[in-house]
Amino acid sequence: MPELPEVQTVVDTLRPAAVGRAVARVDVHRPDVVVPASADLAAGTVGRTITGLDRRGKRIVFTLDDASRFYVHLGMTGRLTLDRPGDPLARHTHVVWHLVGEPRQVRFRDPRRFGGVWWLGADGSPEGTMGPEPLGLAAAELGRRLAGTTRAVKVALLDQAVVAGLGNIYVDESLHAAGIHPTTRASALSADQVAGLNRAVQRVLRRALRHGGSTLRDYRDANGDAGAFQKLHAVYDRAGQACRRCRTPVERIVLGGRSTHFCPRCQPAAAAPVSRP
């Protein structure tokens, strides 16, 4: 479910209820969603106060008053929601945090379990090999990162080590907004194309943030509300439908194993695209 706009919206809707609250109790219904397996999430969080809630890439980072941290990744179908104790516990709810002085509890639910909870302690970092945040990124830096790979620009932008936070929806939407064909080799982009792409990424992400992200199926913010940006998608999940800019039918191909949507008129094929089957 989650790319940068969705994850940021979860953080924004969860923060007022969570930050400043002490953790009264943690129910771990499914211990194997906690990484590493040796971590004791309950022991590390009960009695601590949540002092920070932030997003880094697609990771939701909780900071506690003893400087220990953990992050939640929503994977494909994960949700972090605020629910009343009386609300029925949905299937695949793996962890519940009870807070002091906040009637709602924080529930982590993830049917496919591609997501999870990563315990960092006081010394660990949520960074990993993640690249920079796309909002505020300089075009020259994006250009340096794309120049280093011959992969299709679509595939390169999905790589969290290149830029953090983009996923299948926003890569397709950004490439459309920039007028760049998804099979174009990343290293073959001109400086002008990179600059345009950088602007397009930021414009698309900011618009999506204003609309609370995209809800295709699973995504909800912490209050359980769906996003609205899916109604404004130009190409994503719109194969065969009219491009919102030029009315040409949107095409769908597979790149990097992922559905890829583009407008053949707005995004003309490059002279030497990455070959595809």
CB under 7 A: which stretch of 11-19, 46-54, 70-78, 174-182 binds DNA?
A: 70-78
In the complex, what is the shortest distance from the CB of residue 58 to DNA, in angstroms, rounded to a whole number? 4
Cβ-in-10-Å burial (0-12, 13-18, 19+) of 251 comes to middle
Q: Using alpha carbons only, give the angle 106, 206, 167 rounded to the nearest 5 degrees.
A: 70
Q: Which is nearer to DNA, 32 or 40 (CB)?
A: 32
Show Cβ contacts of residue 94 under 8 Å, excluding neighbours closer than 6 positions: 28, 29, 30, 33, 108, 109, 110, 113
- Cα dihedral 17→20→23→29 (10° resolution): 40
Q: Is 3 a catalytic residue?
A: yes
Catalytic residue among 5, 6, 21, 58: 58
Distance of alpha carbon 261 from alpha carbon 253, whole angstroms: 7
In the complex, what is the shortest distance from the CB of residue 28 to DNA, in angstroms, rounded to a whole number? 16
Distance of alpha carbon 241 from alpha carbon 187, whole angstroms: 31
Site for DNA in 130-189 (CB under 7 A): 149-152, 155, 158, 160, 167-169
Q: Is 36 a catalytic residue?
A: no
Q: Which is nearer to DNA, 51 or 202 (CB)?
A: 202
CB under 7 A: which stretch of 39-47, 75-83, 135-143, 191-199 binds DNA?
A: 75-83
Distance of alpha carbon 91 from alpha carbon 139, whole angstroms: 44
Site for DNA in 92-131 (CB under 7 A): 92, 111-114, 128
Of 75, 77, 116, nearest to 95 by C-alpha is: 116
Do β-strands 34-35 and 116-121 pair in parallel, antiparallel, or remain unpaired? parallel
CB under 7 A: which stretch of 96-104, 188-196, 211-219, 262-270 binds DNA?
A: 211-219
Regarding 214 and contact with DNA (CB under 7 A), the answer is: yes
Distance of alpha carbon 192 from alpha carbon 139, whole angstroms: 9
Q: Is 58 a catalytic residue?
A: yes
Q: Which is nearer to DNA, 92 or 207 (CB)?
A: 92
Regarding 58 and contact with DNA (CB under 7 A), the answer is: yes
Q: Which residues are catalytic?
A: 2-3, 58, 258
Site residues (vs DNA, CB under 7 A)? 1-3, 6, 57-58, 73, 75-77, 91-92, 111-114, 128, 149-152, 155, 158, 160, 167-169, 213-219, 256-259, 274, 277
